[in-house]
Structure 1
Amino acid sequence: MMPAIDGAPRRVLPEGRFAGPMPWVIAIMMFLAVLAAAAALAISHAAGAMQGAIAGRITVQVVEANPDVRARQRIAVAGELRRQSTVAEVTEIGDAEVRDLLTPWLGSDRLDAELPVPALIDATLTDSSPAAVADIERTVKALAPGARVDRHADWLGPLGGLLDSLRWLAVLLVVLTAAATAAAVILGARAALDQHRATIDVMHLMGATDRQISRLFERRVAQDAISGAALGFVVAILALILIGWRISAVESALVGSGTLGWLDWLLIAVLPVAGVALAIGAARLTVLRSLARIL
């Protein structure tokens, strides 16, 4: 067995926290990983809320220049939709509400009383399959030949695809930051081994095993990883709190649906622990493999 080697960590690896670049690299990686993980979770919630909101939702546009005919067709279509077994809810949108919706786009001066606007009917279907929607469309066309049936999922589908892409991009960023952290630890461990090769040879001659020497590196890496991960995590949480405060001022149902729950925060809190474990594991494998090649 080797004599006491308590002073070896100070000789082989730099002293003091934040003495080298390793803690700062880990802090930056942890900051990015926490932000990316929070973004992935928030986007997942927003995408799920949007899918739930648009699932089975349709809008019927009754297009008719004659206001009297348009009103009769709207009443007839709404009444028939309420009688359909596949329709759960029907909401008629009055002409005044439609004009309010068009005012920001056309201006109030161009929306006079004589300008025809379509009558709108919102409906929620219990069966949103293509066959069920086709049956609804045939029923509507029979009562209002000029009517148009729009599925919300059709024109919000690209937005859902964008959210999915952003979510996977955020997940990829978490994976890349983990890989970058492991690479930084591996490079740091190899540099320390090369720099202190003579000291390691002496330790071997004194009876130290590869596992004992590896523990010295692991202890130093663990200190750096804990310091860096804690700093990056705290700064990232402060950034998320600031972003959440700014988001709360935005009156948007889609943005508001991306709020993180307690389970999400628990998953985020696991990241620093996982980062430290990754750094220690990378250091252990690197040192043991390098020492095995030396011998």
Structure 2
Amino acid sequence: MRTPRFAFAESRLLPDTRIAGPMPWVIAIMMFLMVLVAGGGLALAQAARTMGGDLANRATVQIVEANGDFREAQAKAAAAMLARDPGVSSVRRVSDAEMATLLEPWLGGDALKGDLPVPVLIDVELRPGNQAARLAPQLSRVAPAARIDDHAQALAPLTKLLAALKWLAAALVLLMAAATAAVVVLTARSALNTHRQTIDVMHLLGATDVQIARLFQRRIAVDALAGGLLGLAGAVAVLVVLGKRLAALGSELVGSVALAPWSWALLGALPLAGMALAMLAARWTVVSALRRIL
């Protein structure tokens, strides 16, 4: 339990500036950037997982043939062959209505009503452990005009880019955490130098280095939490607005860049982690400095 003299010393040692002082605002800015970068990294990781799960075992077979009768015959033969293959989980031919919807933005609504040769598309879902390239020789025998596109292979460069950006975001979060700790260290050292005489008096009154360090910890913890919550609120507002803008695009690929509920919980815990980091940095700084002084 603190004595009245120690309570008075605390108020003199660290005046109750909080939001009026510079450190909470610096921490708020760092937390704002940290949450934005962390949110972007988590969204990219979620997008990479979504694409990997949805496309890892999928492929598309195209029947590109100018003659309509030959195209239809090869499409039926290819679908029958794929359905019999033990490595194929499901086979679905894209309907004419779906093809018209896909081509309408480029060719107009009457694209399938004329003589324009439109390829036949067959969606193929493979069983785990099977590769789409294995089907190519069999397809070429029953449907010479068939082409097979492996979705995972086509999007591999994009997946690698997302993974690289995810790790870059993690590195930036660590750098900003280190910068936040540096701000706390500088603030604690400045307070030690400013109130050196008060600290000497507290030592004469019997206060230990750990007790003095706790005074710094409590005050810096409040400042760090206040700044962290302020930065979190601003970053969450920005992330929500960006999420709505991305959802309005209507793209499945862009729409996969979203935050899961557990990601929001992780972002919400960042101010608490920042407060703990600030407390540890302040304690280490004060105790180390006082041991060198005495």
TM-score, with length taken from structure 2: 0.88
Classify the secondary structure of the residue corresponding to 1:121.
Answer: strand
In 2, are the aligned partners of 1:99 and 1:117 still within 8 Å (CA)? no
1:282 corresponds to which residue?
281
Code of the aligned partner of 2:197: A
Q: CA deviation at 1:152?
A: 0.7
- Aligned counterparts of 2:107 and 2:161: Cα–Cα separation in 1: 29
2:33 corresponds to which residue?
32
Q: CA deviation at 1:127?
A: 4.2
Equivalences for 1:166-245 in 2 at 5 Å? 166-245=165-244
Q: CA deviation at 1:75?
A: 1.1
Quick check: 1:121 aligned with 2:122? yes
In 1, are the aligned partners of 2:74 and 2:145 still within 8 Å (CA)? no
- Aligned counterparts of 1:244 and 1:41: Cα–Cα separation in 2: 13
Q: CA deviation at 1:140?
A: 0.4
Q: 1:3 to 1:207 in 2, by over 3 A?
A: farther
Give a deviation string over 1:129-160, Cα, whole Å, max 9, x none: 34xx3431111000122322110111111121
Classify the secondary structure of the residue corresponding to 2:90.
Answer: strand
Quick check: 1:273 aligned with 2:280? no
In 2, are the aligned partners of 1:103 and 1:111 still within 8 Å (CA)? no
Farther off after superposition, 84-93 or 240-249: 240-249
Code of the aligned partner of 1:175: L
Q: 1:199 to 1:32 in 2, by over 3 A?
A: same
Q: CA deviation at 1:47?
A: 1.5
* Count, aligned residues: 293
Q: Among the aligned pairs, what percent are the same residue?
A: 52
For structure 1, the residue ranges without an aligned partner over 5 or more in a row are none
Classify the secondary structure of the residue corresponding to 1:18.
Answer: helix
In 2, are the aligned partners of 1:189 and 1:283 still within 8 Å (CA)? yes
For structure 2, the residue ranges without an aligned partner over 5 or more in a row are none
Classify the secondary structure of the residue corresponding to 1:82.
Answer: helix
In 2, are the aligned partners of 1:60 and 1:149 still within 8 Å (CA)? yes
Classify the secondary structure of the residue corresponding to 2:91.
Answer: strand
In 2, are the aligned partners of 1:64 and 1:70 still within 8 Å (CA)? yes
Farther off after superposition, 204-213 or 94-103: 94-103
1:49 corresponds to which residue?
50
Farther off after superposition, 223-232 or 270-279: 223-232
1:159 corresponds to which residue?
158
Code of the aligned partner of 1:231: L
Q: 1:243 to 1:278 in 2, by over 3 A?
A: same
In 2, are the aligned partners of 1:57 and 1:152 still within 8 Å (CA)? yes
- Aligned counterparts of 1:198 and 1:181: Cα–Cα separation in 2: 28
- Aligned counterparts of 1:3 and 1:110: Cα–Cα separation in 2: 86
Give a deviation string over 1:181-235, Cα, whole Å, max 9, x none: 1110001111111222233233333332211221221122122112212212222
TM-score, with length taken from structure 1: 0.88
- Aligned counterparts of 2:73 and 2:278: Cα–Cα separation in 1: 71
Q: CA deviation at 1:261?
A: 3.6
Farther off after superposition, 85-94 or 181-190: 85-94
1:4 corresponds to which residue?
5
In 2, are the aligned partners of 1:2 and 1:208 still within 8 Å (CA)? no
Give a deviation string over 1:16-46, Cα, whole Å, max 9, x none: 2223211111111222222223222222222
Q: CA deviation at 1:179?
A: 1.0
Code of the aligned partner of 1:17: R
Code of the aligned partner of 1:89: S
Farther off after superposition, 282-291 or 225-234: 225-234
In 1, are the aligned partners of 2:43 and 2:259 still within 8 Å (CA)? yes
Classify the secondary structure of the residue corresponding to 1:241.
Answer: helix
- Aligned counterparts of 1:88 and 1:8: Cα–Cα separation in 2: 74
- Aligned counterparts of 2:10 and 2:40: Cα–Cα separation in 1: 39
